[in-house]
Structure 1
Amino acid sequence: MATFLRENASELGVRYVIWQGRIWSRGAGDQGGWGRPYDGGGVYDPSDATGGHYDHVHVSVRR
């Protein structure tokens, strides 16, 4: 799902995707793989299964 969202970001209006402790956003390059490391944004614990988005895909879209 995360890869599909990334590959179709323009058509779907995807701003960013967080998955497996990594965050990808349109226009940003990859750092050592898929996206760049996700730091939790100061709110979530990125080492936690839910906080690091290891157990679900997080997607943000434009309206």
Structure 2
Amino acid sequence: MQDHAQTLGVEYLIWDGLIWSLARDAEGWRPYDGGGMHDPDSITGSHADHLHVTVRAGS
């Protein structure tokens, strides 16, 4: 998904406590705190058990 983000319309990915965004691709995967939504003590809240994908509208 990351390699083909532009084609797929991916804006950002969150996985295993990290975030990657197309807009900040040069920075790579960065720590994710979720702005209050992230729970590092929860396997689900830390996105360790799933990949979160956000795509642009119309994709």
Q: What is the RMSD of the two structures over their aligned residues, measured on CA atoms? A: 1.1
Q: 5+ unaligned residues in a row in structure 1: which ranges? A: none
TM-score, scaled to structure 1: 0.78
1:24 correspondence with 2:20: yes
Distance 2:30 2:41 in 1: 15
Distance 1:46 1:21 in 2: 7
Distance 2:31 2:54 in 1: 17
Q: 5+ unaligned residues in a row in structure 2: which ranges? A: none
The total of aligned residue pairs comes to 55
Higher relative contact order (CA 8 A, sep 6+): 2
* CA displacement, residues 36-55 of structure 1 (integer Å, 9 cap, x when unaligned): 01112212313321011000
| Percent identical | 53
Structure 1 runs of 4+ with >4 Å offset:
none
TM-score, scaled to structure 2: 0.83
Distance 1:24 1:48 in 2: 20
